[in-house]
C-alpha cells in the first residue's frame, strides 16, 4: 500500500450509512456543522439536519479511527429511482443556462447524481475561516493531532469525495455533480479531482458554483496514489453497499480504465 493510502487508513475510514441509526448519525453531524457551528440552517429540536433530498440519497460517514467516532459525512443525491425522477439540490442552477460560457449541462435524469452536504466537525477544521467552510484546512484549534495525522487530515475532504465517486459508480451514474465554493474546487483539482464549472457563481452561504465531471474521466485523471486510495475506500464501502442493495457491485477502478 502506498504512503497516501496507508497514512489515510491509519487514521480514517469510510462507512456506508446502510442503517437508520447510521443515517441519523449523518444527520446529527450535519446539524452540528450546518446549524450549530456555521449557522447556515435553522436549528432543529431533534438535533438532526434533514431535507427532502435525503429520501433519494445514499449517505456516507467518515470515521476517525483513533477515537472510533464519526467526524464527517457526505451524501449522493440520486436523480432517478424506481419511484421515478427526482430533483437534485443544484437543479435550479443547472436549468438556468442563459450564459453560454457555462452551458452544456443537459443530461437526462438517471445519468447523474449530486454530491452534497459534505460536513466535518469543528475539532478537525481550522479555526480561522471555519465560519465559511465545512471542510478542513491544515491547522486545528480543539483537536491536536501529531504531525503525521495532521498531514493526513488534509485529505479528509478528498476521502469523502472519493466515497461519492464509489456511490456514483454503484448507481451507474455517468456524471458527477457538486455545488462548491471555488477554493474547494481548487483544493480538489490539486489532488487530481478535475471538475468543470457549469454555472455562474451565485450566492449561497458565500460564493458557489455548480461543477460537473464525467465519472470515467474523473477517475482516469487521478494519479496513482489517489487511485489506490479510491480502491481502498471502495473496499471499505463495498460490503455494506452490496448487502443493502442485494446485487453485485462493480470494481470502480478497473471498470473505469
- Give the span between the Cα atoms of 214 and 219, in whole angstroms: 9
HSE toward the beta carbon, residue 216, CA cutoff 13 A:
7
Q: 168 is written with which cell numbers? A: 456514483
| 1 pLDDT more than 90 | no
Quick one: average pLDDT of 32-61?
Answer: 95
Q: Is 226 helix (H, G, I), strand (E, B) or coil?
A: helix
In the predicted model, is pLDDT for residue 50 greater than 90?
yes
pLDDT band at 243 (very low <50, low <70, confident <90, very high): low
* DSSP state string for 141-186: SS----HHHHHHHTTHHHHHHHHHHHHHHHTT-SEEEEEE-HHHHH
- What pLDDT sits at residue 87? 82
- Domain annotation covers residue 215: yes
Does the pLDDT at position 256 exceed 50?
no
- Asked if 63 contacts 71 with a C-beta cutoff of 8 angstroms, the reply is yes
In a domain, 257, yes or no: no
Give a yes or no: residue 254 inside a domain. no
Whether 111 is covered by a domain: the verdict is yes
Q: Is residue 255 part of a domain?
A: no
Question: Would you say residue 245 lies in a domain?
Answer: no
Q: For the chain, what is the domain count?
A: 1
Lowest-confidence range among 29-38, 74-83, 148-157?
148-157
Q: Give the range of the structural domain holding residue 160, as residue numbers without chain letter.
A: 3-240
pLDDT tens-digit readout, 149-193: 555 567 888 899 999 999 999 888 999 899 999 988 888 888 888
Does 120 fall in a domain?
yes
Task: Give domain status of residue 116, yes or no.
Answer: yes
CATH number, residue 30: 3.40.630.30
Mean pLDDT along residues 50-78: 94
pLDDT at residue number 257: 36
Amino acid at each position: 500500500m502506498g504512503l497516501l493510502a496507508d497514512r489515510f487508513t491509519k487514521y480514517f475510514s469510510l462507512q456506508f450509512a446502510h442503517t437508520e441509526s447510521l443515517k441519523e448519525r449523518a444527520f446529527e453531524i450535519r446539524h452540528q456543522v450546518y446549524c450549530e457551528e456555521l449557522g447556515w440552517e435553522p436549528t432543529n429540536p431533534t438535533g438532526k439536519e434533514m431535507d427532502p433530498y435525503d429520501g433519494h440519497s445514499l449517505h456516507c460517514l467518515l470515521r476517525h479511527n483513533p477515537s472510533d467516532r464519526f467526524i464527517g459525512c457526505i451524501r449522493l443525491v440520486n436523480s432517478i429511482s424506481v419511484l421515478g425522477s427526482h430533483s437534485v439540490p443544484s437543479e435550479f442552477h443547472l436549468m438556468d443556462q442563459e450564459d453560454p460560457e457555462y452551458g452544456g449541462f443537459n443530461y437526462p435524469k438517471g445519468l447523474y447524481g449530486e454530491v452534497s452536504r459534505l460536513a466535518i466537525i469543528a475539532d478537525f477544521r481550522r479555526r480561522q475561516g471555519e465560519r465559511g467552510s465545512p471542510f478542513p484546512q491544515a491547522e486545528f484549534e480543539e483537536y491536536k493531532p501529531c504531525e503525521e495525522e495532521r498531514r493526513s487530515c488534509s485529505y479528509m475532504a478528498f476521502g469523502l469525495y472519493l466515497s461519492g465517486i464509489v456511490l456514483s459508480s454503484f448507481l451507474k451514474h455517468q456524471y458527477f455533480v457538486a455545488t462548491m465554493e471555488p477554493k474547494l474546487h481548487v483544493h480538489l483539482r490539486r489532488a487530481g479531482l478535475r471538475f468543470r464549472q457549469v454555472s455562474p457563481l451565485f450566492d449561497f452561504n458565500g460564493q458557489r458554483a455548480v461543477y460537473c465531471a464525467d465519472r470515467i474521466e474523473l477517475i482516469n485523471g487521478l494519479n496513482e496514489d489517489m487511485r489506490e486510495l479510491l480502491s481502498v475506500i471502495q473496499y471499505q464501502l463495498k460490503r455494506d453497499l452490496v448487502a443493502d442493495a442485494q446485487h453485485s457491485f462493480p470494481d470502480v477502478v478497473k471498470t473505469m480504465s
